[in-house]
Amino acid sequence: MTISRRPLLLGAVVAAGTLAATSLPASAASATGGSHSKPKPTVVLVHGAFADASSWSAVASRLQKAGYTVVAPANPLRGLTSDAAYISAILKTIDGPKVVVGHSYGGAVITQAAAGDASVKALVYVAAFVPDKGEQLGELGARFPGSQLSDALQPLPDGAGGTDLAIQTAKFHAVFTADLPAATSALLGASQRPISAAAFTDVATAAAWRDIPSWAVVAAHDRAIAPDLERFEAKRAGSYTTVVDSSHVVMISHPDLVTKVIKSAATATS
């Protein structure tokens, strides 16, 4: 695991059991005030494509034990425009400060959904898409080699005349969950939720990371989103970044690490 630094105020964050020097965004540093007596923010966990909210179970349970209120909404997976509008509406129902976390496609959703929401104090991207305004996920995903996702997808009817996409079950383990037991991977593949093909062609209309401090977990052995893309996105967003030897489902295979990154983001911006 490696940790990168942001070029601003120096602080200290615990990640994966190691005390590492890091720097905080100006907006986060000003919010710390040297005290963490304020109530903990609500952590909102947004899942990605081919998954559901249960993919966050291991992280959610750890956060709850640490005293955090956790909300893990069902991401509709109907396209970036409508999914972001839905998650934005969910965020508005939650009182107080929030740390919003997105895995995979969920990263794109929170990037748009959290834009302009002053109650969102930090964004955490976990093996995620992190688009800028005007970008499409299909184009973004093709910028760097390393993803095997497109060759593993199969089209399905969506019941309304459109097209859904799912991962072929024979390729699910290799592309999505390579560091999980085969039996666990088989169950996840069998219960995967397809995503609308529109998710990869919708144009992002906002980029919350331009105004909200962000943290990123890069999965070094990801075959769904190219690790080099994840690194590029994290650098572009100025995210405090942790790199871990993991498949795409890092929140399942490394829940302790992901939990620590989320807690670091919550502490730094409270």
Q: How confident is the model at residue 37 (pLDDT cuts 50, 70, 90)?
A: low
What pLDDT shows up at residue 139?
97
Residue 46 has pLDDT above 70, yes or no: yes
Tell me how many degrees the CA angle 45-60-209 measures, rounded to the nearest 5: 30
What pLDDT shows up at residue 22?
35
Burial class (CB in 10 A: 0-12, 13-18, 19+), 6: buried
CA–CA gap between residue 73 and residue 95 (Å, rounded):
15
User: How does pLDDT run across 163-217, given as a tens digit for each residue?
Assistant: 999 999 999 999 999 999 999 999 999 999 999 999 999 999 999 999 999 999 9
CA–CA gap between residue 32 and residue 53 (Å, rounded):
30
User: How does pLDDT run across 188-203, given as a tens digit for each residue?
Assistant: 999 999 999 999 999 9
pTM: 0.88
